[in-house]
């Protein structure tokens, strides 16, 4: 074995051990969200800060930097898309970013995130932004320290965005979202002018929580979420977390009088889980066994939630089962009405319950406010008012309380600033991937994707996504992958084509 091979093996061993410690921190985080007694929060914050510090020390160890330096010039790094090349490139990227962050800052960010989330839960419940404001101020100040430590060229927000969407720039996201907005606003307007109104009261009937859970579990398993390697629990805000190569956990929240919240969150988080479960397990802890970016991650959740789960073909196959799961609510409702109801388009206050068309405006609002918080132009105390003003300007509605406004999302309390735009990028990637899948899979013996969905058959699509996207790990950047899988770079065209194709017939618009 050559010396460089030995160094490479040590590098991988080091990364795998770091991932092992990181997975323990994730487990503590999952436990914190699902069942931590309130009085335990402070000690849990200490536990997680300790592990975060340990991970950070390992990820920034000078010997690691020396190894990466040696390997970067050698043959193992020559092909950036090979297993060794992608591993060296990915670990180096992480090392370079993390060596810029002082350990004190990392520990403070982790501690503030735990306390911030506890404070956010209470503030949301009591509709009391003022009680959450001091922790959010601390968090924004820490994120601004992070920006200065990491550095940036054009916009301070670039330094935060890059963590979630490597290589992406604020200016480019602004441009893409503006194109999307310019096309969506007239479409949403013509839908409002159409006078056709979806019968959404169907979704507000009584949906017993036990039935929601068992129906959701069944559909999650049917689309391919593996419950032998995962589980489903209830939290304030739905999420998916990976605790090991064979342990991927998803959560949802149920409302007995609203079908969408629980069910579509399950499909959404299952999509995240299916991506994680499709990553190469032998590469766990290494870049080639890790997700590319949050935008690509989100493309997988959106694809299953919206492109599959809100399609007519899916419900052609699943509606009879839904009717027997919820006889009181759906027994007398026609499939046409149910399908129209789950594809209702109208401005609303809550992002996670927003329809596919208006959703991206919710993201644009957060994206703009975050940039102002990070640049210092917007003091945290002015945030609720600024939030409400933007909702009024973009969606024509104004929250009457902060619980339905600025307090609705967990992200900022957890320090996730720069994260929201990846949701819209995910919508764009999902539509582009799905078009390619429909073209490639529609010719085989299984019939079109729609015909497969009507039979409850989702494995060909899941296998296609697994082969083209999941098993690739981080061999390619998000931009390279979308080009490779779909033959063109990211654009808003596929998403618009799909929304027009679906909403046109429902609302009689074009």
353 given a catalytic annotation? no
CA dist., res. 163 & res. 161, Å (int): 5
Kindly state the number of chain residues that form the binding site for Zn ion, as judged by CB under 5 A. 2
Q: Output 268 or 502, the one with its CB closest to Zn ion.
A: 268
Whole-number Å distance between alpha carbons of 507 and 163: 40
CA atoms within a 13 Å half-sphere pointing along the CA-CB vector of 162: 19
> Per CB under 5 A, which region of 41-49, 199-207, 290-298, 385-393 contacts Zn ion?
290-298
Minimum separation from the CB atom of position 74 to Zn ion (A): 38
- Please, which residue, 18 or 424, has the CB nearer to Zn ion? 424
User: Of residues 317-376, which lie at the interface with Zn ion (CB under 5 A)?
Assistant: none
Footprint of Zn ion on 295-314 (CB under 5 A): 298, 301
Nearest approach, Cβ of residue 438 and Zn ion (Å):
22
Q: Which is nearer to Zn ion, 8 or 420 (CB)?
A: 420
Q: H or E stretch including 369?
A: helix 359-375
Minimum gap (Å) between residue 48 Cβ and Zn ion: 22
Rounded CA-CA distance 320/330 in Å is 9
Nearest to 116 by CA among 386, 415, 323: 415
Nearer to Zn ion, 32 or 276 (CB): 276
Nearer to Zn ion, 81 or 351 (CB): 351
**252 counts as binding Zn ion under rule CB under 5 A:** no
Q: Which residue is nearest to Zn ion (CB)?
A: 301
Going by C-beta distance under 8 Å and a sequence separation of 6 or more, which residues neighbour residue 59? Answer: 18, 94, 95, 98
Question: By rule CB under 5 A, what string of x and - marks binding of each residue 14-53 to Zn ion?
Answer: ----------------------------------------
Indicate the residue among 88 and 240 with the shorter CB distance to Zn ion.
240
Give which of 326, 351, 308, 342 is closest to 256, Cα–Cα: 326
List CB contacts of 364: < 8 A, sequence separation 6 or more: 177, 181, 394, 424
Which H or E run contains 314? Answer: helix 312-325
Which contiguous run of DSSP H or E holds residue 66?
A: helix 62-72
Q: Is 27 exposed, middle or buried (0-12, 13-18, 19+ CB in 10 A)?
A: middle
| % helix, strand, coil for the chain, step of 5 | 70, 5, 25
Q: Using CB under 5 A, which of the segments 98-106, 177-185, 186-194, 291-299 binds Zn ion?
A: 291-299
Q: Considering the complex, state which of residue 211 and residue 296 has its C-beta at the smaller distance from Zn ion.
A: 296
Nearest approach, Cβ of residue 238 and Zn ion (Å) = 8
CB 441, min distance to Zn ion, A? 24
CB of 300 to Zn ion, least distance (A): 9
Choose one: 58-66, 101-109, 293-301, 393-401; the region binding Zn ion (CB under 5 A).
293-301
Report the run of H or E that residue 317 belongs to, with start and end: helix 312-325
Tokens representing residue 79 in the block: 């092909």
Give residues 374-433 in contact with Zn ion (rule: CB under 5 A): none
Residue number with CB closer to Zn ion (264 or 464)? 264
Relative to beta strand 230-234, strand 247-252 is parallel
Closest separation in Å from C-beta 505 to Zn ion: 28
DSSP string covering 411-458:
GGGGT--S-THHHHHHHHHHHHHHHHHHHHHTTSTT--HHHHHHTT--
How would you classify residue 376: left for phi > 0, otherwise alpha for psi between -120 and 50, otherwise beta?
left
Min separation Cβ 268 and Zn ion, Å? 6
How near is the Cβ of 463 to Zn ion at its closest, in Å? 22
CA distance 442 to 143: 47
Q: Would you say 61 or 352 has its CB closer to Zn ion? A: 352
Give burial (CB, 10 Å; 0-12/13-18/19+) of 434: buried
Question: What number of residues does the chain have?
Answer: 510
**Residue of 25, 146, 269, 276 marked catalytic:** 269
* SS3 assignment, position 22: helix
Catalytic residues: 269
Residue numbers at the binding site for Zn ion (CB under 5 A): 298, 301
């Amino acid at each position: 074995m050559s010396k460089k091979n030995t160094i490479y093996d040590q590098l991988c061993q080091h990364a795998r051990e770091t991932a092992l410690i990181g997975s323990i921190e994730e487990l503590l985080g999952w436990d914190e969200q699902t069942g931590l007694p309130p009085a335990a929060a402070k000690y849990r914050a200490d536990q997680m800060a300790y592990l975060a510090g340990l991970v950070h020390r390992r990820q920034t160890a000078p010997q690691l930097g020396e190894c990466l330096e040696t390997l970067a010039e050698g043959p193992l790094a020559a092909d950036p898309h090979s297993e060794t090349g992608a591993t060296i490139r990915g670990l180096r990227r992480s090392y370079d970013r993390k060596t810029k962050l002082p350990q004190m800052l990392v520990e403070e960010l982790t501690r503030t995130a735990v306390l911030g989330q506890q404070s956010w839960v209470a503030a949301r419940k009591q509709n009391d932004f003022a009680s959450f404001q001091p922790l959010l101020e601390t968090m924004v100040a820490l994120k601004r320290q992070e920006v200065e430590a990491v550095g940036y060229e054009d916009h301070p927000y670039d330094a935060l965005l890059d963590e979630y969407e490597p290589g992406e720039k604020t200016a480019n996201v602004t441009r893409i979202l503006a194109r999307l907005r310019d096309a969506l606003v007239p479409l949403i307007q013509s839908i409002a002018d159409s006078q056709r109104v979806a019968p959404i009261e169907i979704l507000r009937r009584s949906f017993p929580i036990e039935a929601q859970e068992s129906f959701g579990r069944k559909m999650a398993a049917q689309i391919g979420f593996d419950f032998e390697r995962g589980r489903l629990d209830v939290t304030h805000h739905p999420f998916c977390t990976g605790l090991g190569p064979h342990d991927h956990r998803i959560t949802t929240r149920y409302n007995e009088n609203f079908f969408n919240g629980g069910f579509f969150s399950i499909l959404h988080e299952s999509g995240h889980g299916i991506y994680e479960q499709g990553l190469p397990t032998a590469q766990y802890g290494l870049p080639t066994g890790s997700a590319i970016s949050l935008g690509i991650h989100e493309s997988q959740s959106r694809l299953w939630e919206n492109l599959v789960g809100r399609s007519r073909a899916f419900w052609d196959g699943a509606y009879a089962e839904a009717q027997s799961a919820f006889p009181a609510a759906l027994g007398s409702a026609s499939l046409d009405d149910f399908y129209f109801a789950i594809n209702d388009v109208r401005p609303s206050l809550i992002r996670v319950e927003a329809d596919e068309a208006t959703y991206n405006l919710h993201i644009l609002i957060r994206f703009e406010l975050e940039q102002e918080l990070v640049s210092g132009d917007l003091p945290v105390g002015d945030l609720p008012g600024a939030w409400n003003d933007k909702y009024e300007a973009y969606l024509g509605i104004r929250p009457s309380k902060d619980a339905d406004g600025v307090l609705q999302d967990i992200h900022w309390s957890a320090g996730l600033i720069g994260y929201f735009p990846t949701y819209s990028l995910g919508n764009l990637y999902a539509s582009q991937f799905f078009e390619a899948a429909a073209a490639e899979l529609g010719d085989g013996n299984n019939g079109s994707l729609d015909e497969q969905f009507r039979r409850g058959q989702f494995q060909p699509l899941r296998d296609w996504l697994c082969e083209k996207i999941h098993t690739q790990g981080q061999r390619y950047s998000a931009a390279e992958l979308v080009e490779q899988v779909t033959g063109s770079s990211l654009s808003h065209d596929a998403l618009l084509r799909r929304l027009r194709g679906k909403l046109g017939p429902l609302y009689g618009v074009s």
